[in-house]
Structure 1
Amino acid sequence: MNLPNKLTVVRVLMIPFFVWFMLPSLGGEMAASKWIALAIFCIASLTDLLDGKIARKYNLVTNFGKFMDPLADKLLVGAAMICLVEMGRLPAWIVIVIISREFIISGFRLIASDNGIVIAASYWGKFKTVFQMAMIIVLIAAFEGSVFAVVEQILIWVSLILTIVSLVDYIRKNKEVLTQGGM
């Protein structure tokens, strides 16, 4: 197993520890729990950045990495958002919209893959990911003050809007994938 794939596996293995420290009902009762959870989330997010850069730079792209890297990202972000719903920091309906988008895109990618088509991530999707990660970080940190409350709300709404825009863009650019699959 090459280094990028090991980083992806480490990211997946970090998720239960992240959840443990995020949720007071599990293990997140001590004062430092949210900061430990935040550190784990940030480190896991950095492994996402690193594994892709290393894989492309050193030509270490594998089928395992193509499958597991986006899955690891979805698991990490999904786990974080579900924890934030549990904590009352993020509305459930927004998380449902965001996770639904991920299922729809995964379905498109599966159909495309069956037809020998590889669909690259768009800039909208990358912007969406950056804003979702920033939103999660700010919501975990839960800084006090009205300025931070405004920043949280802006990040939540921009993340939601980018999620929808990236979905529409993705479907528009790849609608032929559905018709090529015999659907």
Structure 2
Amino acid sequence: MTTASSMKKLPKAERRAQLLEAAQEIVREEGTDALTLARVAERAGVSKPIAYEHFGTRAGLLMALFSSYNELQLATQREALASCGKTLRDVAGILGEAYVRCASRAGPEAGAVFSALSGTEEMDEFRQTLRNGYLKEYRDAVSRFVDLPADIGEPVLSGLLGAAEAVSRDTAAGRISYDDAVAALTELFTATLERFRR
């Protein structure tokens, strides 16, 4: 039901944040299949055209929702790297912990949203763009310490990213503790990258 307070004019960024919060609640409670722009508008207490104005399509909503998780993770990671990334092991721990922390904060719904981002060329391209962004972040973070070979450097980083995704999903689902997940990823990243040390 629409209320006067929810329909009041909000700045565009605040309205978008409100809609994304409503979308997160729907995914958390009912899963991604229940996520539509109409449901998000209803949950946020606004008219459907407002949701369509912000996201355009369900695919646009899914991409915006996952982008919000992504931005949180990258901001956390960059901040930690700038202040604490003094050794290869430090960097390995920061990369692993940033992924686990974001997945833990976002909960299992982040994985569900990422899984839902498939099936169309637009969403597949978005997923690949996200992965490419993470690979660049990883490469930049470790480049002071290691010299990755041209032929296998990208696949090595892709494997580390895949491990972070898998361990983080298990952590968000409660199958692995937060501390164990961070420790495991720190060891895995460090051991893998040590062999390429400069």
Q: Same fold (TM over 0.5)?
A: no
**TM (normalized to structure 2)?**
0.37
**TM-score, normalised to structure 1's length?**
0.40
